[in-house]
Structure formats: C-alpha cells, structure tokens
Amino acid sequence: MAENKPIELRYYRLAPDDATVFLRIWKLTAAGTSDPVERSVESAGFHVNLGRRQYLTLTLGNGLTWDDTTKSLNIRITNQQTAFIREDGELQYEAFVVWNDGETQTIREGTVTAVRVG
C-alpha cells in the first residue's frame, strides 16, 4: 500500500542546472513492520504530473538509485529537472518499484507543491 505524503519541489532560476533541489531516501519495509523488504527492485520510477500531462519522469540511473543492502530508493532531482515550474502551483507525484518477481507496487504518492524561486 502506498503512503500518501505531500512533497515540495523548487526551481531556482539563478541556481546552476546541476544543483540538487530535492533529495530523499525511502527505506522500504515489509507491511506492518520496520523490517526491510526481502525482495529486490528490478526497475523503479518517479513521475510528477498534472492530469495526463507528465512533467518529470525519473528512472533507475536517471535520478533514482536502488540500494539493495539497505533496501532503499534514493531520489535526486536537479534544478534543471525542475525547470518545468513556471509558476507556483500544485501537481501530483507517484513513486513505484517493479520487484524482481515482476510485481509493480506504488510506494509513495501525493501532492507536489511546485515553487519557482527568484
């Protein structure tokens, strides 16, 4: 079951393109416990969208990293990747994994507060 959590993304007009503007590590645990999952991730994705329009898509190797030792999904978004933010607003996001047995599971979803700075 996915956790529904709000996040905030910012685009800094004067910051370098490669500046990190969002960094999260989500440890995946077995349902109802604090124990790490026993499965491994084959692929993963993180999408920011509004309705059917997708503004940001991250995959393993492109902003997402899976750490099989800690069973955690690491998300890094750069300033260049948030350049789609032209004005403050609300969007939606979804983070999902595809387990090594082929099952797809949404792990986080929620509202994105998009902010354009300076």
Q: What is the CATH number of the domain that holds 72?
A: 2.60.40.10
For the chain, give the mean pLDDT.
94
Range of the domain at 49: 3-117
Length of the chain equals: 118
Within 10 Å of residue 17's Cβ, how many Cβ atoms? 9
Nearest 5°: the CA angle 1, 75, 94 is: 40
What's this model's pTM, rounded to 2 decimal places? 0.90
pLDDT band at 47 (very low <50, low <70, confident <90, very high): very high
pLDDT at 118 (0 to 100): 85
Is the pLDDT at 4 greater than 90? The verdict is no
Is the pLDDT at 2 greater than 80? The verdict is no
Domain count, the chain: 1
Quote the tokens at residue 59.
């995959």
Is the pLDDT at 26 greater than 90? The verdict is yes
pLDDT at 31 (0 to 100): 85
